[in-house]
A and B are shown apart, each in its own frame.
Chain A
Amino acid sequence: MEDISILVGGKAGDGIRIAAIIVARLFSRYGYRVFVYDDYPSLIRGGHNFSLIRVSRQKVQANNVGVDLIVALDKQTIEKHASELNDGGVILFDSSKGEVETEGVGVPFKEIVKEMEGMSIMRNSAALGAIAKVAEIDWKIVEEVFYKFLPKKTDLNLKIARKAYDMASAGNLKVENLNQEMMPIISGNEAIGLGAVKAGMAVYYAYPMTPSTGILHFLAANRDRFNILVVHPENEIAVILMALGSAYSGAKTMVGTAGGGFALMVEGLSLSAQSEIPITIVVGQRAAPSTGVPTYSLQSDLHFVLNAGHGEFPRFLVAPGDAEEAYYYTGVAMNVAWSCQVPSIVLSDKNLSEGNYSFDSSMYTVEEAQPILWDGKGDYLRYKDSENGVSPLAFPGNKSATVKVTSYEHDQYGITTEESEKVAFMQQKRLQKTEAVKKEIEDIEAVKAYGKDSDTVIFTWGSTKGACVEAADALGLKVLQPIIMEPFPDLSSYIKDAGRIVTVETNATGQLARLLENNGIRVDHKVLKYNARPFFTDELIERLRKEVL
């Protein structure tokens, strides 16, 4: 089969997420493109966890509700998901005594682990062996993947997997050799981290918060390899203030958080604008308000990040929709922040941040942009008047420059002022940088278009584009995905022939729709989902058929 959907379910602590990514890696070796979505509650043990793995010849960035294989490590997986099995699908389950009772391929995972004297979490290795057999994956591939990605107790894990492999029987999901190049599999968070490092990030500050914690872990684990500093301070207020301090010193910095942490950073965001110190902030959206549904997805912070901060000032905002875009546009955000001395924000969401993707590194190149530096002539003025509002940078330690930055309104040297003319001048100087930003991003794709020309045009953003692009393809519709949200791109050429405009996004009020309407684009219908789950492709096709076509 060229397009397979798999669900692996169990309790927290069963190693579901590891198993899911290994499944993806097995198929990846045959040239499949993969997307993995982990659905897990905010707890460490117990509860119900499941991961959805989609493998396909084409690039896929969304899952289906309907699955071809259900792998059940607990009873709840059957209770909750058996109805999602496609016709001809297979259920693979732990048939050990007291575990799961159902019809399908039963393999006693637990008993195998016991017999081999493994740890209980190694049930996931038994499951992996059995999955490999159901999909008729070559045992050599299983060995290769285990050695590479399960470096601890590999032999024991393999022994367990082998036993399950031998006991299971082939289903009708045979893997095919697609003769396509193998691609790396990375998460959206890792892609964000890589984009930042490529754009010259020297310091990363963050306080842990789902769904952005993965960036912190990834960068910390690779600190020495990237030769960067990674710091976990006392709270998000410290995070942003430290980042601004380091940037003032001359170090490119990024911070990462979710909506709640960003709320704490907002005073610092405004400081970044007033002091004109570059900063890049990653905001991973999760289901809110407040603590909300912490490990689940929603796209409900678009207007928050667009409008956050007291006062009026330019900012740059991107909302990537997949791992390649996360990589590239994070680099763009870093570059714009430093070239134009404005805060830049990368708006992600749990589905993108924690989703695992086949990553095509040939799609984009990230190159570090160099900021405008002071030429050393005359007296240094940190806030010197200039044509586009961007004043050349100097950093403390320069023997010819005194570098004064401030949260107060100030004169060109950086000393507090309350004089009406100077106040108005500086306000204007900062706002002028919007044009500088526009110039900087002239050649960067701000909107992506997919599908065929159609009377009805679908607008979507962020990770929802995954399901949208597929659904639109099935229905013959055109999809537009704005990635640069501020300064908002001119869309007139994209929609001049549009009859009807429909938005698809995961929030309750239609935030992209509102942004479009604020920019003079009439929205005829909003397709919304706000139960903290992403759109699934099959589900979205149904919704579009019912509501739009």
Chain B
Amino acid sequence: MNKGNKELNSYAENTWCPGCGNFAILNASKKVFADKDQKNLVMVAGIGCHAKLVDYIDLNHFYSIHGRVPATATGIKLGNPELTVIGFAGDGDAYGEGLAHLMFAAKRNINITMVIHNNGVYGLTTGQFTPTSPEGFKGKSTPWGSVERPFNPLTLMLGAGATFISRSYSNRMENLEMVIDEAMKHKGFSFVEVLQPCYTFYNTYKIYNEKVYDLEEEPPKEHVIEKMTEWNYGSKGNIPIGIFYRETRPTYDESMLREMVPARRKEEIDIEDLLKENT
């Protein structure tokens, strides 16, 4: 029996700041999960404000360590490919501490979904710049204003080989649900970036409310990069949300496992033959 919206709430006390964009991601996820095969669903989280989400939803979870969500999720999927694995990571987490894992998960096209809560700041450690904070960002570690340019995660993911690339905004509930649901349905590596204002350390509601617009339709191949770079995480440009790119490619889990389910492997291996070959 599936848990409904209410039963999906765990008894954990919610400790996000009022007004935090994470609430919307939590609600959208619960809505999407209500119709999924819940016993086979595993949530994975990194470390940061975003990650508390898995404590709040009463389903299987692996609350991992900072930056390592894609690696953990890959291992879970390879251990048992029948599981549906969805990772939740922060921008500091996935783009900073553990970028390599994210790139490789995309490269391999492992059949998992990664939701990145991009608030442009390290929330849990009280406000430092992240890889997607704009140039000049005055955080506690860069009070003079960051001298680094942000990178664009969408084009990074495209370059790395992600087969599903999307962006949403926590204040556009319908779009957010749609994107998470589509990402989970996609067979292969699905990337979902959610613009998620941090009410306390980097309140971006006003800017996003003004600039965010819905793509509505997936752009044709030749316009994908143009759409992805319309906004480069700085002050210029409007901000499209929706699904930017979709492609089908054999998944890593299928190619590597070829029907094998390691979690259920029960095998008596006879090594005598191998030893004879070495005699």
Contact = CB atoms under 8 A, between A and B. Distances in A.
A and B interact physically: yes
Interface residues of A, number: 60
A246 B11 contact: no
A321 B55 CA distance: 45
B254 interface: no
B279 A231 contact: no
A483 interface: no
Given A249-B262, A251-B263, A395 B80 contact: yes
A13 interface: no
Interface in B29-69: 39-42, 44, 47, 52, 54-55, 58-65, 68
Nearest to B45: A406
Interface string B74-88: 111111101100000
Interface string A389-415: 000000111110011111110000011
B209 interface: no
Interface stretch (B16-24, B192-200, B269-277): B269-277
A408 B64 CA distance: 9
Interface stretch (A222-230, A437-445, A469-477, A532-540): A222-230
A245 B267 contact: no
A252 B262 CA distance: 8
A405 B63 contact: yes
Nearest to B67: A237
B221 interface: no
Contacts of B267: 200, 226-227
Contact of A185 (B11, B265, B278): B278
A396 B274 contact: no
Given A241-B68, A245-B71, A402 B58 contact: yes
Interface in A202-253: 202-203, 205, 222, 225-229, 231, 233-235, 237-238, 241-253
A213 B26 CA distance: 43
A384 B42 CA distance: 20
Contacts of A247: 75, 79
Contacts of B74: 233, 238, 242, 245
Nearest to B75: A245
Nearest to B98: A237
A141 interface: no
B257 interface: yes
B72 A245 contact: yes
A482 to B, nearest CB: 27
Contact of B11 (A203, A226, A242, A415): A415
A325 B205 CA distance: 63
A477 B200 CA distance: 71
A20 B65 CA distance: 46
Given A227-B265, A229-B260, A397-B83, A246 B75 contact: yes
B201 interface: no
Given A229-B256, A361-B275, A403-B60, A249 B263 contact: yes
Interface in A191-209: 194, 197-198, 200, 202-203, 205
A184 B275 contact: yes
A397 B40 contact: yes
A67 B139 CA distance: 68
Contacts of B72: 241-242, 244-245
A234 B252 CA distance: 14
B75 A186 contact: no
B14 to A, nearest CB: 12
A165 interface: no
B208 interface: no
A267 interface: yes
Contacts of A361: 271-272, 275
Contacts of B262: 202-203, 228-229, 246, 249-251
B223 interface: no
A248 B74 CA distance: 12
A241 B79 CA distance: 12
A222 B82 CA distance: 25
Contacts of B279: 28, 182-185
A180 interface: no
B47 A407 contact: yes
A194 B82 contact: no
A226 B44 CA distance: 30
Nearest to A395: B263
A96 interface: no
A87 to B, nearest CB: 34
Interface in A414-463: 414-416
Contacts of B98: 237
A233 B61 CA distance: 23
A267 B68 CA distance: 11
Contact of A399 (B39, B83, B101, B263): B39
A234 B100 contact: yes
B248 interface: no
A383 B11 CA distance: 16
Contacts of B260: 227, 229
Nearest to B76: A245
A248 B275 contact: no
A416 B62 contact: no
Nearest to B263: A250
Contacts of A227: 260, 265, 267, 269
Interface string B165-189: 0000000000000000000000000
B71 A246 contact: no
Contacts of B76: 245-246, 248-249, 396
B83 A237 contact: no
Given A229-B260, A243-B75, A249-B76, A397 B65 contact: no
Nearest to B272: A361
A238 B104 contact: yes
Interface in A253-271: 253, 267-268, 271
A529 B83 CA distance: 51
Nearest to A416: B55
Given A227-B267, A397-B39, A399-B39, A245 B62 contact: yes
B10 to A, nearest CB: 6
Contacts of B11: 415
B60 A271 contact: no
A416 B63 contact: yes
Contact of B71 (A185, A229, A238, A250): A238
A200 B265 CA distance: 8
Given A194-B271, A396-B40, A397-B39, A238 B100 contact: yes
A241 B82 contact: no
A359 interface: yes
A245 B42 CA distance: 11
Contacts of B71: 233, 237-238, 241-242, 245
The listed residue with most A CB atoms (<10 A of its CB), out of B41, B59, B257, B271, is B271
B12 interface: yes
Contact of B65 (A222, A253, A271): A271
A229 B278 contact: no
Contact of A407 (B59, B65, B80, B101): B65
Contacts of B65: 241, 267-268, 271, 407
Contacts of A185: 278-279
B61 A404 contact: yes
A408 B83 CA distance: 23
The 6 lowest CB-CB distance pairs between A and B, nearest first, are A245-B75, A249-B79, A246-B79, A242-B75, A250-B263, A251-B262
11 contacts: A185-B278, A194-B271, A227-B260, A227-B269, A238-B68, A241-B65, A245-B78, A248-B79, A249-B83, A415-B10, A416-B63
